[in-house]
Structure 1
Amino acid sequence: MVKRARYAEYKDSYPNYRFELSDDGILLMQCHTDGGSLVWDWKSHDDMSDAFADVAGDREIKLLIHTGTGENYNADWGLMPDGKLPDPPIYDAMPGVKGLHKLDEKAWYNRNLQWNVLDVDVPMISVVNGPCNIHSEVPLMGDIVLASDDAYFQDVSHFPRGQVPGDGQHVIWNHIVGPNRARYLLLTGKKLSAQEALEWGAVNEVLPKDQLLDRAWELARELVKKPPLVLRYTRQLFTQNLKRAYLDELGHGLARETYAQQEFFPFGGGMEPLDRAWNDKPWT
């Protein structure tokens, strides 16, 4: 359950999430790292959950535009542009029960992330400004999904490197494109181009990158002409079936992912680059 939040209180709270509120109540939320594309590490992972909780608790906003920055929406994994680990390091050896509790904490953040996005009670326009191979469920929970013509969707962080495809991937793709396509996508690590995502029904419009955000604002300004309660109740109406799907399967998938993850992350706290094989154990 989210709590009441106000823009002035959270707008400067997150180093990886920039907020801008227009006079007509449109909130822009941009993911970034130092002004460039988001680097996905435990800090940005956990903060995304808390940031969406604040957005969901803000009853002054009328619509959310959620997007990334630079070349990628979310495809940079844990390493800084110079190839080094962030400071402080995200690799932290945590064997045994301590590691298990760390994994459980991350699953808790993950579960809250999914629900906090669904608890956003205003229409959400997702702008996928480039490749998205990590946590694609977040933008796909938007009511309108726009993608750049160079974007693609991929779940490279789970099954392709030896993990159960949880984190909501097993829920959102099945819900949007159907079980056969979803299983194929998650098992093979397929790069689903923006055009294919449009054909599959996961994306509503594909545009050149430099036109993407302007189109989102155009749509947003038209939508916010409607009464505030109409906007809120319409979002609630649209998310109801998806909430049912998440209620049925999110905890189930996270439990299996967390349990099996001990074989991949027995230290329970680090993030490794995506090119490490599951059985290439750096702790031995």
Structure 2
Amino acid sequence: MPAPKPWSRKTMYRTFLEEYQEKWSEYFTFKREDGILEMRMHTEHDSAKWSLELHRAFIPALADVGHDPDNEILIFSGTGAKFLDSMDPEGWERYGFREPMTFDKGYDFWYKDQVHEPFAFLNLEIPVIAAINGPFFIHQELALLNDIVIASESTTMADGHYTGMGIVPGDGVQTVFRELMGINRAKHFLLTGQEMSAKELLDLGLIGEVVPDSELLDRAWEIARTIFKPRARSTRVMARALFVQPWRELLVRELPSGMANECWGTHGYWGMAEENYDIENLKGDSK
């Protein structure tokens, strides 16, 4: 393999879609028209399954999106009938998570990533439309921190930390749901495993619209073209900066301590170490 060429000190750094869409093709599908970039997560070109690799990939992949000046608006969605509704068992086993939790796992794979992953979205300086295409059970910040959030009629939302994995919901969802629902609703949602329909999410103000499943991405593109594209670039980026700043302040303050609570708590109980624990669906004999 030839050595990479050094970046010229006389050339402004940037990234190119034709390069990073190939680099991240095992995680995301990209397409772009008129400066509007559609980015859909997937696992083998079907609905995404949450894995340690996907978790980490968001950080550099979104950095590439943000350093491409041809991207003016981002549409973020999933693939198939589910947004994010199951785990990738092979990935968790690959890194030893079938064994009892140890410090290196809690730090190197969780804390190290999650104190950065929400900011991978918040650091983008372009408007982001989240289009939730079905059931969604973990890492809701991937959608709910964005500027416009719409969902398909088949969307349901629950959180898999406390009642599924049996661990502390401390990776930012404690902040996101508290701010969007109010503290008592958020605690009930996170601690009971409550599942909400798209209509309930709309009524509570977590999302802005519910549309038929077959029309979800078309509606996201319509919003991009009619709400964001006609505005001046400076208006778009400054409005984006205005709306993400409160989230940035909250997560800078609360995310590291929440992740510390989550990682430390796993030393008391770690379900994946149980012989018959179903990693994909977060179910064990004791549940």
State the TM-score, normalizing by the size of structure 1: 0.86
The residue type paired with residue 58 of structure 1 is D
RMSD: 2.5
- 3-state DSSP class of the match of 2:283? coil
The residue type paired with residue 239 of structure 1 is V
- 3-state DSSP class of the match of 1:39? coil
Compute the displacement of 1:88 (Å).
8.0
Compute the displacement of 1:188 (Å).
0.7
Residues 124-139 of structure 1 correspond to what in structure 2 (within 5 A)? 124-139=128-143
Question: Which residue is equivalent to 1:82?
Answer: none
1:145 aligns with 2:155: no
Question: Which residue is equivalent to 1:224?
Answer: 229
Instruction: Kindly tell me the number of residue pairs found equivalent between the two proteins.
Output: 269
Bigger CA radius of gyration: 2
* CA 1:87–1:266: 2 relative to 1, 3 Å: closer
Compute the displacement of 1:119 (Å).
0.7
Question: Which residue is equivalent to 1:72?
Answer: 82
Counterparts of 1:273 and 1:87 in 2: how far apart (Å)? 10
Counterparts of 2:85 and 2:60 in 1: how far apart (Å)? 20
Alignment partner of 2:279 out of 246, 254, 272: 272
The residue type paired with residue 105 of structure 1 is D
Are the equivalent residues in 2 in contact too, given 1:37–1:69 (CA < 8 A)?
Answer: yes
The residue type paired with residue 108 of structure 2 is E
1:185 aligns with 2:170: no
- 3-state DSSP class of the match of 2:74? strand
> What are structure 1's unaligned runs of at least 5 residues?
80-84
Counterparts of 1:121 and 1:130 in 2: how far apart (Å)? 27
Compute the displacement of 1:154 (Å).
0.8
Counterparts of 2:100 and 2:186 in 1: how far apart (Å)? 34
1:58 aligns with 2:68: yes
Counterparts of 1:208 and 1:93 in 2: how far apart (Å)? 39
Compute the displacement of 1:90 (Å).
4.8
Question: Which residue is equivalent to 2:264?
Answer: 259
Question: Which residue is equivalent to 2:32?
Answer: 21
- 3-state DSSP class of the match of 1:133? coil
Compute the displacement of 1:124 (Å).
0.7
Counterparts of 1:4 and 1:275 in 2: how far apart (Å)? 40
1:100 aligns with 2:103: yes
Q: Tell me the percent identity.
A: 30
Residues 188-227 of structure 1 correspond to what in structure 2 (within 5 A)? 188-222=192-226, 223-227=228-232
Are the equivalent residues in 2 in contact too, given 1:40–1:76 (CA < 8 A)?
Answer: yes
Question: Which has the higher relative contact order, 1 or 2, with Cα contacts under 8 A spaced 6 or more apart?
Answer: 1
Cα deviations across residues 65-85 of structure 1 (Å, max 9, x unaligned)? 000011100002114xxxxx3
Compute the displacement of 1:54 (Å).
2.1
Counterparts of 1:145 and 1:170 in 2: how far apart (Å)? 19
Counterparts of 2:14 and 2:145 in 1: how far apart (Å)? 22
Cα deviations across residues 156-208 of structure 1 (Å, max 9, x unaligned)? 23344321001211111112122121111101111011100000000100011
Counterparts of 1:124 and 1:242 in 2: how far apart (Å)? 14
> What are structure 2's unaligned runs of at least 5 residues?
1-12
Compute the displacement of 1:252 (Å).
1.2
Counterparts of 1:262 and 1:53 in 2: how far apart (Å)? 33
Counterparts of 2:205 and 2:124 in 1: how far apart (Å)? 22
Counterparts of 2:282 and 2:148 in 1: how far apart (Å)? 32
- 3-state DSSP class of the match of 1:132? coil
- 3-state DSSP class of the match of 1:11? helix
Counterparts of 2:177 and 2:285 in 1: how far apart (Å)? 24
